[in-house]
Structure formats: C-alpha cells, structure tokens
C-alpha cells in the first residue's frame, strides 16, 4: 500500500473580543503586571463573551481555515475538536461545530489531551489520512479556559485565555515532498495530581462565570484548574526538551534543520528553554503568549496561524510543533510547509 502525504492547506484563528490585561488582574488578585510579565511573558489574554460557547470560537476559526483553503464545509469528510472546555459533557463539541458549520453526516469527535490536544489530534489524523481513511479534515483546537479558572487563585488565573485555532488537512496531491513528516506522543498518568480540574464546570452558567470575574465570587466548590506550577514547570522543560530531540532523531534530522518552532504557549521561560535545547534563536519561534496567554489546546494552532499570517512561512520549511499538558500528556509534530 502506498501511503499518502498529508498537508495543511488552510489555517485560521479566532480570539474573543474582550481583552483582560495584567492591570485588570491586579484588581482581582494580589499580583502585579511586572510579576506576571517577568514570570510568564503574558501581558493580556482574551475572554469569551457571555453569549459565546467554545463551539462558537471553533466555528469562527474553522471558517477562516476553510476560506484560506479555498474550500467549503461540503468538501470536508471528518472534523475533530481538541478541547478541555467542551460546550457540554456530551454531545461532543465537534458535533456542535459540524452542525453550526452546516456539515452533513461526516464523522466528528473530540480529543481530550488538555493543552496537547491539538498535537495529539494532528498525530492521529496524520496516521488515519496516510492510510486513506479521510481526504480532507478540519482539525480545531478551541477553549474557554476562563470558565474553569478559579478567579481567586493568583497562581493559575493569570495564566489562561480563550480562543480557537484551526487547520484544514488534505491527503495526497502532487507535492509528496512536503507535508507531515511525523509525530510522537507521550503520556504519564502518574503525574495527574499536579495539574487537574474536577469536572463540575458544566454547572456554571456563562452569567455566573462573568460574575465570578467581575465580582470575585469565590469559586470554592465549582470546577477550577489546580496546579502545582513549580513542579509542572520543571517537568515540562525536561519532557519537552527530550521529545523535540526524540522526533528529530527518529527522522534523522538535526537542530539546524528546523526553520520554525511553534510551541504551546504556557510560559515564555518554558519556550525559551526548549528553543535553547534546539539552539534556535527566538526570532525563529512563533510567540503569542504575551497577547493570548495559555489557551490550552488552541495555543499551537493560534501560534501557527499567527506565524502563517505574518507571511514569514515559506514552502518546504521544516516546522516543529510541541505541547505539554496535564496528565501529563505531551508530544510533537514535524511538518514541511506545503502552502
Ligand atoms: O499548559 C500546561 C502546562 N502549564 C505550565 O506549563 C505552567 C507551568 N508553571 C509556570 O508557568 C510557573 O510555575 C508559574 C508561572 C505558574 C509560577 O511561576 P514560578 O516562578 O514557578 O512561581 P512560584 O509558583 O514558585 O511562586 C513564587 C512566588 C510565591 O511566593 P513565595 O512563596 O515565594 O512568597 C508565590 O506565592 O510567587 C508567588 N506568586 C505570585 N506573586 C504575584 C504566585 N503567583 C503569583 C502572582 N503574582 N500571580
């Protein structure tokens, strides 16, 4: 059997209108713009509107990716949403997005690997599409993390933001040289207590969520991200450093072969550590952490969208995507740009 090449043929992103700056956070918790900027690189983040759901963010990103690919939803034969903040426990957010986009009967499902969801989804789709299962797929990362953050916990509420990023993947075509090179995924559930959220958040209405932000209602008893930041940081640096080396070695490539690093945007210091491990200058790294914060599974496709829209990407360039997440679940994808 001849395996197909798999290409990104469209990219999109969407950020909700409301911006929350570090100065806004100073009014909520005992923190400073200086502390947040210095320790995380974050200056602001976007917050979902009361009348929006995660699926709405996903739909906007998907529309942009479809437009960019020059196709419509009728050309799509599968849709995947990576999300930690689904509209409901079920049905999947992917089916909601399919319906809102007017898609008909093609399979749609969610991937839950927290901040690594997009990298995980891309890896799975790469395998399925190489084997001929689907021709054109929408892969979306979409999150409303602000709805599961404890707005009284300065250790976590300063980190997260909302948004969505999407790509259209296509199998086959004449450009067999470019496209997905490969993916590596890892997980180790023994670390699960270090970064988690109990799942009571669907009980929170959007109104309650905004009251929590605006009036500092104590989040005790409702879903909230809990993190031992320090330990997560240390392990993230180690695991990301090793997975990027692992994927390069697997494909007989070296640091100097990489043109762009598109990392998960959790903390500028984690990104710098990975870039250093790869001996890459920071001007070859897609950076959105300052303006988006950590948008979990949306962060990698949003950073890719940013890089793509900057006009800096050239056909044939080697791009390394990576992410680290609760679980822990982490991984990397390598691809040669096809557009
Ligand atoms: O996306 C999934 C993966 N997630 C991550 O990768 C996040 C990884 N972790 C981190 O990014 C960092 O650990 C944080 C940004 C969360 C925290 O930075 P840190 O440099 O590890 O700080 P720390 O937790 O060790 O806290 C240092 C001090 C503490 O005060 P004391 O105990 O030294 O007096 C904290 O209470 O900073 C204090 N602190 C704050 N001060 C001002 C913690 N949060 C804040 C805050 N503002 N927002």
β-strands 195-197, 18-21 pairing: unpaired
Q: How many helices (H) and strands (E) does the chain have?
A: 10, 13
For residue 249, give every residue at least 6 positions away whose Cβ sits within 8 Å of its Cβ, in sequence order, or none: none
User: What is the model's pLDDT at position 2?
Assistant: 72
Catalytic: 251?
no
For residue 43, the enclosing domain spans 1-339
Q: Is the CB of residue 241 below 6 angstroms from any atom belonging to ligand 1?
A: no
Q: Whose CA is nearest to atom 21 of ligand 1?
A: 230
User: What is the model's pLDDT at position 217?
Assistant: 47
The enclosing H or E element of 62 equals helix 54-69
Q: Is the CB of residue 270 below 6 angstroms from any atom belonging to ligand 1?
A: yes
Determine the residue of 229, 303, 326, 327 to mutate for testing ligand 1's pocket, defined as the one with the most ligand atoms within 8 A of the Cβ atom: 229
User: What is the model's pLDDT at position 89?
Assistant: 87
> 35 C-alpha vs ligand 1 centroid, how far in Å?
9
Q: Is the CB of residue 66 below 6 angstroms from any atom belonging to ligand 1?
A: no
Joined together, the tokens standing for residue 272 give 């710098």
Cis amide bond preceding 63, omega within 30: no
Q: Is the CB of residue 238 below 6 angstroms from any atom belonging to ligand 1?
A: no
> 254 C-alpha vs ligand 1 centroid, how far in Å?
33
CATH number at residue 290: 3.40.47.10
Q: Whose CA is nearest to atom 17 of ligand 1?
A: 229
For residue 198, give every residue at least 6 positions away whose Cβ sits within 8 Å of its Cβ, in sequence order, or none: 223, 224
Catalytic: 157?
no
pTM: 0.94
Q: Which residues of the chain have pLDDT under 50?
A: 201-203, 215, 217-221
Domain count, the chain: 1
Joined together, the tokens standing for residue 141 give 């990362």
Other CB atoms within 10 A of residue 245 CB: 15
- DSSP-derived secondary structure letter, 142: E
> 261 C-alpha vs ligand 1 centroid, how far in Å?
25
User: What is the model's pLDDT at position 224?
Assistant: 84
User: What is the model's pLDDT at position 209?
Assistant: 62
Candidates 22, 267, 294, 333; catalytic one: 294
Q: Whose CA is nearest to atom 14 of ligand 1?
A: 229
Joined together, the tokens standing for residue 200 give 């009571």
> 111 C-alpha vs ligand 1 centroid, how far in Å?
28
Candidates 46, 209, 264, 292; catalytic one: 264
């Amino acid at each position: 059997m001849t395996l197909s090449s798999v290409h990104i043929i469209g990219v999109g992103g969407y950020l909700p209108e409301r911006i929350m700056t570090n100065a806004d956070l100073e009014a909520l918790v005992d923190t400073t713009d200086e502390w947040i900027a210095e320790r995380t690189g974050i200056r602001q983040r976007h917050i979902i509107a009361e009348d929006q759901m995660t699926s709405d963010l996903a739909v906007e990103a998907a529309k942009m990716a479809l437009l960019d690919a020059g196709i419509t939803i009728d050309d799509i034969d599968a849709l995947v949403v990576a999300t930690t903040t689904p509209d409901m426990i079920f049905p999947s957010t992917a089916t909601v997005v399919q319906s809102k986009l007017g898609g008909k009967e093609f399979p749609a499902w969610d991937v839950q690997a927290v901040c690594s969801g997009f990298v995980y989804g891309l890896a799975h789709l790469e395998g399925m599409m190489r084997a001929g299962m689907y021709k054109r797929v929408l892969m979306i990362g979409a999150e409303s993390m602000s709805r599961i953050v404890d707005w009284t916990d300065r250790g976590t509420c300063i980190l997260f933001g909302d948004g969505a990023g999407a790509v259209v993947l296509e199998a086959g075509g004449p450009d067999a040289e470019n496209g997905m090179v490969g993916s590596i995924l890892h997980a180790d559930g023994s670390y699960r207590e270090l970064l988690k959220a109990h799942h009571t958040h669907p009980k929170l209405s959007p109104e309650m969520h905004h009251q929590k932000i605006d009036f500092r209602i104590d989040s005790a008893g409702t879903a909230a991200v809990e993190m031992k930041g320090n330990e997560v940081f240390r392990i993230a640096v180690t695991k990301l450093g090793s997975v990027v080396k692992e994927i390069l070695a697997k494909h007989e490539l070296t640091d100097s072969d990489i043109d762009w690093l598109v990392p998960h945007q959790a903390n500028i210091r984690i990104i710098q550590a990975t870039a250093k491990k790869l001996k890459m200058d920071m001007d070859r790294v897609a950076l959105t952490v300052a303006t988006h914060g950590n948008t979990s599974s949306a962060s990698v496709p949003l950073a890719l969208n940013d890089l793509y829209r900057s006009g800096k990407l050239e056909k044939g360039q080697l791009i390394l995507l990576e992410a680290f997440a609760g679980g822990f679940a982490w991984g990397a994808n390598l691809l040669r740009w096809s557009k």
